[in-house]
Amino acid sequence: MIRILIANPLLLLFTVAAIGYPLGRLKFRGSSLGVAAVLFVGLGVGALHPELKLPEIVYVLGLALFVYTIGLASGPAFVASLRQEGVRNNLLILCVLAFATMLTVAAQRFLALPATITVGLFAGSLTNTPALAGALETIKHLAPQNLMEQLLAEPVVGYSIAYPMGVMGVVLAISLVQKLWRIDYAEEAKQFKIAGVATEALRSKTIRVTWPQAGRQTVVELSRQQKWDVVFGRIKRNGEYLLTGPQVRLQPGDLLLAVGTGAELQRVAEVLGEVSEEEITADRSEFDYRRIFVSNPRVAGRRLGSLDLFERFGATVTRVRRGDDDFLPHDDMVLELGDRVRVVTSRERMGEVTALFGDSYRAVSEVDILTFSLGLALGLLLGIVPIPLPGGVTLKLGFAGGPLIVALVLGTIGRSGGMIWSLPYSANMTLRQIGLVLFLAGIGTRAGYGFVSTLADGGGFTIFAAGAVVTFTAALATLFIGHRLLKIPMGILIGMVAGLQTQPAVLGYALEQTGNDLPNIGYASVYPVATIGKIVAVQVLLTLLM
């Protein structure tokens, strides 16, 4: 059977995935590994034979697909996070990297490890291949020619031994603290707002207007003055229905339908009057409402306010559904292919509004191969461009950093002329999952045999233990300082820990735990700084220790 798997890499790939994925869904004391289980199955299978490993292109392709789709989806939220707490978060990551560097030096002194093994241990415990590549490049400049081959092999040994615990140690740290601190991710998300991320569920309420001064301002002016984050739909006035437009003025006695979070709706009701039990959505004889798929490329990538729906069609969008989450629409919200907009308008105009958005499920299931391939190619090109650093060393962002940075930019831009850079939500999630499985299966099978054989020799155990200490301590330090001292929401923070590790497997586990997209924001916001910081750190280690 082993010979069959060695001769058929595709069979090996899907065997590892087929075993690992269902194992990841099994719960132990309330926790599960999720898709990260594919990595551990890959390690186990790869340990059976030195040739039982997937080609390098498998995990490189998976890594590029995964980080590119993450970047496209997270672009707007990433920019918003930088405006809010991005500097603080990146400073935390840099401080933890400095701490991890000092721990590595202490381990080298205590265990009398060679400098080359030590930098491999550092790169492996923080699971960063670009850092390993940077270490190898630096050694080429520092090592004598007669020892070059041996010294270039030693960082790879240290890396392969420390790498598996670089994943498992972080997963264990996250699992430990979320149980000790009893983290409620759903409740936490309700208290946190960031552009492009759904948190608390939206509701609709009917409000009876009793405030005598309600008509002194238009609805837009009133919302701006009171800082309400709600959308107003229909009004029932003297037995007749009308749609709330920007210039509408409310009157005492109006029944007003409002959409927003529970807390915001309560604020509105306290000012305008009171919550009414009367249902005004049942009557659809004059004004109708429906959810419409955004499948028209001319609409996707544009801001909702630029469509002038009320002026052109007398229509209002009350919700935008993206994936499984409802978002409150705003004029500056950028629509994406696959969004479902809930529109309220007169029955006669509903057909025109539907034609504008497209409403084709088949169209939003397809991927624009041109823009997807072009964007990914730009990311891969950026990843191989050498960036000079002090000391004559060059930095390359690699097949993870390059695609991620390009995707963050393109995801924020949305569209360039007629080219739409974003992917439909369903297509993005499918490609992301496939990419992650390819990456995990690839690195697992390639690291498995070297990991087990080095441990079996006896000398590898100290390297493994030292790497585990660096990984686990750095992760705990990030979680404790970030959550307890800086009050960073745990959903964001465990994504930041995954970014600190530059590790998609940890991000996959974090997403499984939270059930929302907050970890993606934390991951994307610190990933570039973490990557560059670790490459610089290995050069500092080699300079100090060689």
Least confident of 38-52, 179-193, 204-218: 179-193
Rounded Cα gap, residues 405 and 411, in angstroms: 10
Please give the average per-residue pLDDT across 362-369, as a whole number.
78
Q: 265 and 230 in contact (C-beta within 8 Å)?
A: yes
Q: How confident is the model at residue 359, as a pLDDT?
A: 86
| Cα–Cα distance list, 298 to 294, 330, 417 (Å) | 10, 19, 10
Q: Measure the CA–CA gap between 99 and 150, rounded to whole angstroms.
A: 29
For 308, counting Cβ atoms within 10 Å of its Cβ (0-12 exposed, 13-18 middle, 19+ buried), the class is: exposed
| pLDDT tens digits for range 73-95 | 877 766 766 666 778 888 999 99
Report yes or no: 16 and 41 within 8 Å, Cβ to Cβ. yes
Average pLDDT, stretch 406-434? 85
Which pLDDT value is given to residue 393? Answer: 59
CB within 8 Å of 521: residues ≥ 6 apart: 74, 77, 78, 81, 194, 197, 492, 495
pLDDT of residue 149: 59
Domain parsing of the chain, residue ranges? 53-192+369-436+462-545, 203-364
As a whole number of angstroms, the distance between CA 439 and CA 434 comes to 9
Which strand (E) or helix (H) includes residue 320? strand 316-322
- Once rounded to an integer, what is the mean pLDDT over residues 393-411? 78
Q: Which pairs from 369-375 meet CB under 8 Å and 24+ separation?
A: 370/419, 371/419, 371/420, 371/421, 372/423, 375/68, 375/72, 375/406, 375/407, 375/410, 375/421
How long, in residues, is the chain?
546
Mean pLDDT of the chain: 83
- pTM over 0.85, yes/no: no
Question: What CATH number should be reported for the domain whose range is 203-364?
Answer: 3.30.70.1450
What secondary structure letter does DSSP report for 358? B
Find the helix packing angle between 490-500 and 148-180, rounded to 10°: 170
- Asked if 223 and 330 touch (Cβ cutoff 8 Å), the reply is no
DSSP 52: -
Q: What is the pLDDT of residue 244?
A: 85
Reported confidence tier of residue 466, pLDDT bands at 50, 70, 90: very high
- Residue 539 vs residue 219, higher pLDDT: 219
For residue 214, what pLDDT is reported?
A: 84
* CB contact burial 158-192 (16+ within 10 A = b; e otherwise): bbbbbbbbbbbbbbbbbbebbeeeebebeebbeeb
pLDDT value at position 378?
94
What gap in Å lies between CA 280 and CA 278, rounded to an integer? 6
What pLDDT is stored for residue 455 in this prediction? 67
User: Could you tell me which residues come within 8 angstroms of residue 149 by beta carbon, excluding any fewer than 6 positions away?
Assistant: none
**C-alpha to C-alpha distances, 290 to 281, 284, 287, 304, nearest whole angstrom:** 12, 11, 11, 17
Helix (H), strand (E) at residue 106: helix 86-111
Are 433 and 311 in contact by the 8 Å Cβ rule? The answer is no
**pLDDT value at residue 473:** 95
pLDDT tens digits, 167-198: 889 989 999 999 899 888 877 766 665 544 54
Query: What is the pLDDT, as a whole number, of residue 302?
Result: 86
| Residue 379 to residue 67: CA distance in whole angstroms | 10
pLDDT of residue 195: 46
